[in-house]
Amino acid sequence: MVNERDVILSGQRNDDSFDSLWDELVWRGLIHVSTDAEALKARLEGEPFTYYCGFDPTAPSLHLGNLVQILFLRRLQLKGHKPLGLVGGSTGLIGDPRPTAERTLNSEETVAEWVGYLGAQIQRFLHADGDNGVRMVNNLDWTAPLSAIDFLREVGKYFRVGTMLKKDAVSARLNSAEGISYTEFSYQILQAMDYRELFRSYDCVLQTGGSDQWGNLVGGVDLIGRSEGASVHAIGTPLITNSDGTKFGKSEGNAIWLDPEMVSPYAFYQFWVNTDDADVIARLKVFTFLGRAEIEALEAQVAAEPFKRAAQKQLALEVTSLVHGPAAAQGAIDASAALFGQGELADLGRDDLAGAITALPQASATVGTPIAQLLVDAGLVKSLGEARRAIGQGGVSVNNAQVGAEDAVLETEQLLHGEFAVLRRGKRTLAGIIRT
């Protein structure tokens, strides 16, 4: 049987209309800062080499910021280079210092569990077969056996405190009331040690990461240069922001996770389809494998017919298919159409409908609950009087069927899959009803 994930991977390509992979990465907006750019450009076109990116288990799932890094790994893998996916079983116990406050330390058991979750997610986006199949590593394997004395003698002696104090997050914390613990202050040494270990064990010569990690990336380059006498590289991708200056990758203040149990495929799809016109082309470049010609054609459509939202729909389809699979993406499209009266809600599968319901305001109900009360409970109106007026004016529907009587109640036959109903006020204000 053909695996859906294998089909997705087999369909991915770098764009051969560019003279080099480096040129394509620059066009996609993926290079913010790097070590020697000309040397890297030549290296990417040369013999296969090993490279890595690290991911700390600070949650049970990766998010969209992590997806930028994973897709960067994939683009290099498609060129024939050899990826290492590092999940930080040790650095996850410490925590990369944030500019604002000390992290809460998770238990060893929790971190170990999350290491497994993240490792499985990363492997879904990278092929595992052949000479350049992805290899997963855990930095706890080489950090745990190291004594404090060995750590100070073999690694710490290469670091200068003055340089460490200049790191942005460290500097910000030093100037705050809370300060910074030695635990988080030492994180940059641990990450640098990871790079050296991978250089020694796998001949790894490139580390990638977000530009906010640049100080840590360079720390590894410097450590290898000082202790091994070797020259290696680092690439920092830009931190993605929306055109209005707000932070990318959040919806209503919550992170967009890759785990479908944390963000449903429907909500995931809706996040992308709601991308602003000013941002959609940049998102297509970073998060899809569409080629330059396809993206430029979509850019022309945005300029000529923005109301059709063709680029947003293509973006949502591509990324939802990539993360959750084509079937889930189609389910999200079908659910979106049905919710807004362009399809039959009764035809939706239970999981697709449930995913859509979780993305809406919700109210719990039993059979016989007045529809007017459900409008109040779901937050679609402020009072029962307003609810009855909305029903009387013909502006309320259940499952896209207009509610005709002000005293109408929720009926058993209105519960889709015996569990759900979709309540609407006006044309586009929706809520999910869940049977209790």
- SS3 sequence of the chain: CCCHHHHHHHCCCCCCCCCCHHHHHHHCCCCCEECCHHHHHHHHCCCCCEEEEEECCCCCCCEHHHHHHHHHHHHHHHCCCEEEEEECCCHHHHCCCCCCCCCCCCCHHHHHHHHHHHHHHHHCCCCCCCCCCCEEEECHHHHCCCCHHHHHHHCHHHCCHHHHHCCHHHHHHHCCCCCCCHHHHCHHHHHHHHHHHHHHHHCEEEEEEEHHHHHHHHHHHHHHHHHHCCCCEEEEECCCECCCCCECCEECCEECECCCCCCCHHHHHHHHHCCCHHHHHHHHHHHCCCCHHHHHHHHHHHHHCHHHCHHHHHHHHHHHHHHHCHHHHHHHHHHHHHHCCCCCHHHCCHHHHHHHHHCCCEEEECCCCEHHHHHHHCCCCCCHHHHHHHHHCCCEEECCEECCCCCCECCHHHCECCCEEEEEECCCEEEEEEEC
pLDDT of 308-367, one tens digit each?
A: 999 999 999 999 999 999 999 999 999 999 998 888 899 999 999 999 998 899 999 999
Q: Give the model's pLDDT for residue 100.
A: 77
**CA–CA gap between residue 269 and residue 291 (Å, rounded):** 21
**What is the amino acid identity at position 377?**
D
Q: Give the model's pLDDT for residue 22.
A: 98
- Specify the residue for token string 């990278």: 126
Q: Which residues of 160-182 are buried (b: 16+ CB within 10 A; e: fewer)?
A: eeeebeebebbeebeeeeeebee
Domains in the chain (CATH in brackets) are: 4-239 (3.40.50.620), 245-343 (1.10.240.10), 360-436 (3.10.290.10)
pLDDT of 101-134, one tens digit each?
A: 778 889 999 999 999 999 999 999 999 999 999 9
**CA–CA gap between residue 427 and residue 395 (Å, rounded):** 8
**Below-70 pLDDT ranges, the chain:** 1-2, 252
Show the tokens assigned to 39.
Answer: 């040397």
Neighbour count for residue 37 (Cβ, 10 Å): 14
Q: Give the model's pLDDT for residue 165.
A: 82
Q: Which residues of 24-33 are buried (b: 16+ CB within 10 A; e: fewer)?
A: bbeebebbee
Q: Give the model's pLDDT for residue 201.
A: 98
Q: Give the model's pLDDT for residue 176.
A: 79
Neighbour count for residue 239 (Cβ, 10 Å): 15
Q: Give the model's pLDDT for residue 285.
A: 98
